[in-house]
Amino acid sequence: MNIALLTSEIAVVILALLIIVFDLLMPRQEARRSLGYFAVCGLLGILVYTFNQHGASATVYHGFFVVDKFALFFKQLFIVATILTLLFSFDYIEGLTHNTGEFYALLLLSLVGMMVMASANDLLTVFVGLELMTIIFYILVGFDLRSSKSSEAGTKYLILGSAASAVLLYGMSWVYGFTGSIVLSEIAAHLTASPAMLLGLGLMLAGFCFKLSIVPFHMWAPDVYEGAPIPVTAMLAMASKAAGVAVLLRVFLVAFADLQAYWLTIVSLLAGLSMIVGIIVAIWQTNTKRMLAYSSVAQAGYILSGLLAADAAGVKGMLFYAVLYMVANVGAFAVTTAVNNQYGSDKIDDLSGLSQKSPFLAVVMTVSLLSMAGLPPMAGFVGKMYIFMAITDKGYFWIAMLGLVMSMVSVYYYMLVVKVMYSKEAKNEQEFTASVSLRIVALISLIATLFIGIYPGPLAELANVAARSLW
């Protein structure tokens, strides 16, 4: 067994343990900010190291854990999302708790779960990675003990998430019972379209759709997004959703590829419903995090629609969209964090007058929202174009047209937020302040969103290489 293939996961675990130890040994005041910078520096080192694994294609633990370009693409995405989330959250986390080391360590351990999910090549490893990530998020969602909304959100997420995990595991047991294996390639070799197998496939699809907040399995997302601390909401919207996409792609395109005739129709309906419900319901939201929650439901529908192509072009579109969605979201959540730090609230009305108080952050929020709406020259336009082209070639023209129409509708509620920032007067004359690290993250989001939209070639090629490694 080549233990070097597990180096990045081991390094993140060691980093989390070191943060816990330093949090115990260092004076409380010194530890609060320095532990955050230590976590960021450690993750940057691990990110640089992962580039040494490019070109690797090997398995560990008798094929249960695979390291390939597809897994590496998602691992780097998870690490970048975690780094950016930490950078814009320092002030918020310090105001949230004195035990910052615990928060940072838990966030890193959830990252380990995501990385395991990206490399999982069997159903048991998928479930272990998924539960490692999800159980830690149960804790993080309810981490703000002073907030009743946070406690309520944590409880709801625990109950609904546990039920979804049970459904997923039950589906896996049916698949194992009728194929005699949990390894994805071996499941594909023994696959039959029996009622029991289709039942297992349907239960697994339901479990994965819950993690992706796909309609009608999205009921947890608005309350959890609203009640959770903003960094946790950001990780749920970006990295956690991307981890679900990674698992869904590997399981359905490797293990269940021969049953496409049965699951493609269901996936098309789920994707269409998510676009419609997510965008329509978002119009009436007054809380920024809740609006972004319904936006994430719609974005999940766009990403899921790429699965309909069931080929390298569709997977490329999904991977490309996952990156640009992360880039746009990190900008939106950075601005939301800055406003929360200033006013202690997440209402959309709190963005009033932001264009006068902080023109830069107002521009970042505008570009992020318009990118998610899919307007050129932002990156979202290119991502949706890749997905729609891939599924149109497979005959799903109606999904592409529905996605186009709903994108135009989404512009309406995104522009409502922009209108608040630019046309309303600020609530008070208090000077608006934001940390340097938060502004750096906002700048990165702005530049990346525009750069990918204008020059998508390099990222598209990386996504294409990662997609083809699945086959």
% of the chain exceeding 70 in pLDDT: 98
pLDDT value at position 320?
A: 96
Average pLDDT over residues 346-375: 92
**Does the structure show a pLDDT above 80 at 2?**
no
Average pLDDT over residues 366-383: 92
**Does the structure show a pLDDT above 90 at 52?**
no
**Does the structure show a pLDDT above 80 at 407?**
yes
Average pLDDT over residues 369-379: 91
pLDDT value at position 470?
A: 87
Query: For 300-334, how does the pLDDT look when each residue is reduced to its tens digit (9 = 90+)?
Result: 999 999 999 989 999 999 999 999 999 999 999 99
Of residues 460 and 431, the one with the higher pLDDT is: 460
Average pLDDT over residues 357-365: 94
pLDDT value at position 114?
A: 96
Provide the pairing of β-strand 58-60 with 65-67: antiparallel
Count the neighbouring beta carbons within 10 Å of the beta carbon of residue 62: 10
Query: For 124-171, how does the pLDDT look when each residue is reduced to its tens digit (9 = 90+)?
Result: 999 999 999 999 999 999 999 888 999 999 999 999 999 999 999 999
Report in angstroms the alpha-carbon separations of 195 from 98, 181, 199, 201, 259: 54, 18, 6, 10, 12
Element (H, E) at 60: strand 58-60
Q: Rounded mean pLDDT of the chain? A: 92
**Does the structure show a pLDDT above 80 at 427?**
no
Q: Can you give the residue ranges of every domain in the chain? A: 1-252, 256-471
Q: 0.85 cut: is pTM over it?
A: yes
Count the neighbouring beta carbons within 10 Å of the beta carbon of residue 461: 11
pLDDT value at position 30?
A: 64
pLDDT value at position 54?
A: 75
Return all residues near 413 (Cβ < 8 A) that are at least 6 apart: 279, 282, 283, 285, 291
CA 436 to chain centre: 25
DSSP single-letter state for residue 237: I
